[in-house]
C-alpha cells in the first residue's frame, strides 16, 4: 500500500467527495418531533421513486468507459433489492466493503458498474476525474415512503494509476417532507433503524467486537440546561477499528437537565470512513489528511473525550452495554465539557 501517494490527494478529495456530494452536517436543519409515529410494517422498497435523477459525467470523462460490459438494466424494485442485500450483508459485503466497493480491492470498473446499476433509483450519480491521477465518485440513493425519506450518500476516492479505490465514505439520514420539500431530520425513525440495522451501534459491536478506540465528541453551543426546543446541539460516538479499516460515527441529539447532558445512541444517524486494512498505523496520517473532524483527534481537541472521561465507562463496559440492541441512554456531566 502506497500510503504517501494516497495522502497527496486526500484533503482536497475529501472536500469534493463528501462536502460536494453529501449535504453539510444533517444537524444544520434538524427537527425532532415530540413523537415518531409507529409503523406496523417496515417496507424496504420505497412507495414512490425519486422525482429527479442526475447522472453527471460519470462515464463521459473516463477512458475506461468503452471497456465496460453492458449489464442488464435493473428495474427500480430490483435495484433497491440489490442495495438491501448489500446493506444486510446478504451478498458478502462486510465492512470495509460498502455497497459492493472494497478499499484497495475494487477497481474503477467496479465503480462504474455500480453507478450504472443504481442510477435508475439514485438522485445523484457522478464519476469525475479531478486530475490526471485521481477520481471521485458520488452516489445518493433515497428511500421514499409517503412523507418520509431515508437517504444513503456514498463517496469513493480512487487513484487512476493504481486502478483501485482507496477510501470509502458514507453518510445516512432520515427526514420528513412537506409539499415535496425537506422539512426536518427525524431521529429514531423505525424504518431507518431497520434498514441500517447491521450498522447501528449494537450491530457493529456485535459483529466486530470491542473497538480499539472509542471517542465521545460534543457539538455544544451553550452550557445552559435544559437546551432550548429544537436545539442543534449533539454528541457523536466514534468507534475505531484501524486493523479492519473501519471508522464509524453515530450522531445523536443532546438533551438533559440540571448539570447532566443526556444522549441516546439508539436515535443516531450513522456515517463512516472505510480504509484499506493494509494501512496499519498509516491510518493516522490518512485520517489527519482526510479533513473534516478527523484532524481534531491528533491530539484530541477539548471537545473529544474518552468514554472514561465523558461517561465514567471503560471501553469494555461501553462494549458490554451496547453490544446488544438497547434503548439505553448515556449521561455526561456538564463539568466535563465546560468551560471549554
DSSP 269-326: EEEEEE--GGGGGGHHHHHHHH-TTGGGBTTBPTTEE-HHHHHS--HHHHHHHHSS--
**Cβ–Cβ under 8 Å, residues 260 and 331:** yes
Whether 207 and 258 share a structural domain: yes
Whether 158 and 261 share a structural domain: no
| Alpha helix (H) residue ranges in 74-165 | 76-87, 108-118
Burial of 275 (0-12, 13-18, 19+ CB in 10 A): buried
Q: What is the pLDDT of residue 66?
A: 37
Count of CB atoms situated within 10 Å of the CB of 41: 5
Among 178, 198, 218, give the residue marking a domain's end: 198
Residue 21's φ and ψ, nearest 5 degrees, are -105, -20
Whether 69 and 179 share a structural domain: yes
Whether 44 and 183 share a structural domain: yes
Whether 209 and 182 share a structural domain: no
The CA-based diameter of the chain, rounded to the nearest angstrom, is: 64
Is beta strand 255-257 parallel, antiparallel or unpaired with respect to 304-305? Answer: unpaired
Count of CB atoms situated within 10 Å of the CB of 241: 20
Among 198, 224, 250, give the residue marking a domain's end: 198
Whether 163 and 212 share a structural domain: no
Among 147, 164, 198, give the residue marking a domain's end: 198
Whether 174 and 256 share a structural domain: no
Q: What is the pLDDT of residue 248?
A: 98
DSSP letter for 267, please.
G
**Number of separate domains in the chain:** 2
Q: What is the pLDDT of residue 26?
A: 27
Whether 188 and 271 share a structural domain: no
Chunked into runs of 10 residues, the chain (340 residues) has average pLDDT values of 53 44 30 25 44 37 41 82 89 90 91 90 86 84 95 91 88 96 95 96 97 97 92 96 97 96 97 92 86 91 97 98 97 94
Q: What is the pLDDT of residue 16?
A: 43
| Alpha helix (H) residue ranges in 74-126 | 76-87, 108-118
Distances in whole angstroms, Cα of residue 224 to Cα of each of 64, 254, 256, 315, 334: 56, 12, 10, 29, 9
Whether 100 and 118 share a structural domain: yes
The residue range of the domain holding 233 is 200-340
Whether 190 and 211 share a structural domain: no
Whether 193 and 204 share a structural domain: no
Whether 85 and 10 share a structural domain: yes
Amino acid at each position: 500500500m502506497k500510503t504517501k501517494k494516497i495522502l497527496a490527494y486526500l484533503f482536497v478529495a475529501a472536500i469534493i467527495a463528501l462536502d460536494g456530494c453529501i449535504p453539510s452536517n444533517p444537524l444544520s436543519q434538524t427537527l425532532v418531533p415530540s413523537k415518531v409515529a409507529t409503523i406496523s410494517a417496515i417496507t424496504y422498497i420505497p412507495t414512490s421513486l425519486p422525482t429527479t435523477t442526475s447522472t453527471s459525467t460519470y462515464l463521459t470523462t473516463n477512458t475506461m468507459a468503452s471497456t465496460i460490459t453492458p449489464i442488464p438494466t435493473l428495474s427500480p424494485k430490483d435495484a433497491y433489492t440489490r442495495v438491501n442485500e448489500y446493506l444486510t450483508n446478504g451478498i458478502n459485503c462486510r465492512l470495509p466493503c460498502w455497497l459492493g466497493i472494497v478499499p484497495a480491492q475494487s477497481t474503477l470498473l467496479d465503480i462504474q458498474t455500480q453507478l450504472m446499476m443504481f442510477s435508475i433509483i439514485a438522485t445523484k450519480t457522478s464519476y469525475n476525474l479531478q486530475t490526471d491521477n485521481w477520481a471521485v465518485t458520488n452516489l445518493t440513493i433515497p428511500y421514499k415512503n409517503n412523507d418520509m425519506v431515508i437517504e444513503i450518500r456514498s463517496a469513493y476516492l480512487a487513484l487512476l494509476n493504481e486502478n483501485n479505490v482507496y477510501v470509502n465514505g458514507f453518510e445516512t439520514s432520515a427526514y420528513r417532507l412537506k409539499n415535496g420539500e425537506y422539512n426536518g431530520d427525524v431521529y429514531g425513525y423505525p424504518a431507518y433503524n431497520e434498514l441500517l440495522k447491521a450498522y447501528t451501534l449494537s450491530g457493529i459491536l456485535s459483529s466486530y467486537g470491542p473497538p480499539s478506540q472509542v471517542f465521545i465528541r460534543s457539538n455544544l453551543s451553550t452550557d445552559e440546561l435544559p437546551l432550548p426546543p429544537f436545539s442543534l446541539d449533539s454528541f457523536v460516538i466514534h468507534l475505531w477499528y484501524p486493523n479492519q479499516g473501519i471508522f464509524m460515527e453515530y450522531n445523536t441529539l443532546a438533551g438533559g437537565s440540571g448539570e447532566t447532558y443526556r444522549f441516546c445512541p439508539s436515535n443516531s444517524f450513522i456515517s463512516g470512513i472505510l480504509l484499506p486494512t493494509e494501512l496499519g498505523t498509516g491510518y493516522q496520517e490518512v485520517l489527519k489528511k482526510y479533513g473534516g473532524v478527523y484532524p481534531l483527534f491528533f491530539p484530541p481537541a477539548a471537545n473529544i473525550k474518552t468514554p472514561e472521561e465523558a461517561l465514567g465507562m471503560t471501553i469494555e463496559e461501553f462494549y458490554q452495554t451496547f453490544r446488544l440492541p438497547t434503548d439505553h441512554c448515556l449521561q455526561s456531566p456538564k463539568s466535563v465539557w465546560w468551560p471549554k
